[in-house]
Amino acid sequence: MLDQAMDCVVASATDARALHLVRPPELAQWLEQLAEPQARYLRDLGFVAKPGELQFLAGAEGIAGAVFGLGDDRSPFAFGDLAYRLPAGTTWRLEPGDYDPRSAALGFCLGAYRYTALKQPERAPARLLTPPDVEPSLSQARAIRMGRDLINTPANLLGPVELADFAIALGQRYGAKTHLAEGDALASAYPALAAVGAGSARPPRVATLYWRGSGAHADAPLVSLCGKGVCFDTGGYDLKPSAAMLRMKKDMGGAAAVLALARMIMEADLPLRLAVRVGCVENSVSGTAMRPLDVIPTRAGLTVEVGNTDAEGRLVLCDLLAEAAQEHPIVLIDCATLTGAARTALGPDLPALFCNDEIWAASVLNAGDACHDPLWRLPLWRGYDSWLSSSVASINNVSTKPFAGSIVAALFLQRFIPAGTAWVHIDLYAWNDQSQSGRPEGGEVQAARCMLQAIVERSAKPG
């Protein structure tokens, strides 16, 4: 996964064919510059450059080129179908046009992705001759494909130990200082997380990375990331029905998003300091698993009544957030597949954003729109905070009311964020239920590109 080859791009080629990317307003002028037989052919076919419209141009030795309609789509996903609609193994060069080559390269690579660790693909993708200055796009594509691989890996092959080891290996590749917590040390430092993992024969782990860019001084801005890495979630004693459990290998999607974002930051060598924490556990049913109405301690000193063992993600994150906040980052970001309520409200494609800082919230939302990796902000509504009250502990991990589940979960996490700490919480789905352009069915890394852009913009001007 860490070294997955991107067989959809090549740095040089002598046999690359011309790929023309055209929008409707420029079509007439473009046709006038084309060889008359080819232009007449496209006119006869009624080619109008609508989104995804593809036609091949014949030459003396077969296919000489192709023309692809973009419509008015400016996102990377406009290019997401090309790798498997162009003939297998052929190589293509992008011709000049009204589009961003970086966006084209990113979309092409994201659409070319397939999970191939356990099954050979049915065909090879077409290859793109990489345009100049697109390395940032290729870096993002590599990171997202890595995260997709993590999510798609079956849970029997990616447990807490394997996920933590992967995070450590990723950090070491980029020169980060790493730490792995396990056993008694983990139980002492992260008691709530340990309680979640107590029911599994596969022990929990916490992987921590500390990295500093080559241009960052000792007191450079610190960005802190925390990821929920529940490698499989049965729901515990509050057992999920089989249909709800079917995709729970993706419950570490928050960890995958955080690791993908960390990789982007480190490969870009941003002038900042980075701290990454990944809580790796499995939520299982056994004689040692936490039970409904158990009361468990947390790193922050609060006690939590377990109103529902299937609300375990917030227990994994609360200890990580409490520790991360002690280091005074300019922003503390967590990603988690936390609630079905967020999916009910916003659907699978739109992660929910919660933020206690208006400047960071605006930066994230603007970045999401700009790079076509959107989120939608939901409120940290104080009126629901009392719903987490418990008669026997500091706080309950759920509300007894059947409303506002994603907001209540965010309010739980906010209890562990000290005043004055800018905090971004992203409740995401991490899965494509069906294939879309650039987004094959299966695991998906959401919000990482958006957060990268926001971090680049905000880390230069903290506060």
Catalytic residues: 240, 314
Q: Tell me the C-alpha distance between 241 and 357, whole Å.
A: 38
Q: Are 258 and 242 in contact (CB under 8 A)?
A: no
Q: Tell me the β-bridge partners of 90.
A: none
Residue with tokens 């690791």: 259
Residue 388 per-residue DSSP state: G
Measured CA distances, 298 to 84, 87, 178, 194 (Å): 49, 56, 23, 10
3-state secondary structure the chain: CCCCCCCCEECCCCCCEEEEEECHHHHHHHHHHCCHHHHHHHHHHCCCCCCCCEEEEEECCEEEEEEEECCCCCCHHHHCCHHHHCCCCCEEEECCCCCCHHHHHHHHHHHHCCCCCCCCCCCCCCEEECCCCCHHHHHHHHHHHHHHHHHHCCCCCCCHHHHHHHHHHHHHHCCCEEEEECHHHHHHHCHHHHHHHCCCCCCCEEEEEEEECCCCCCCCCEEEEEEEEEEEECCCCCCCCHHHHCCHHHHHHHHHHHHHHHHHHHHHCCCCEEEEEEEEEEECCCCCCCCCCCEEECCCCCEEECCCCCCCHHHHHHHHHHHHHCCCCCEEEEEECCCHHHHHHHCCCCCEEEECCHHHHHHHHHHHHHCCCCCEECCCCHHHHHHHCCCCCCEECCCCCCCCHHHHHHHHHHCCCCCCCCEEEEECCCEECCCECCECCEECCCCHHHHHHHHHHHHCCCC
Residue 162 per-residue DSSP state: H
Q: Tell me the C-alpha distance between 64 and 52, whole Å.
A: 19
Q: Are 181 and 206 in contact (CB under 8 A)?
A: yes
Provide the 10 A C-beta neighbour count for residue 389.
13
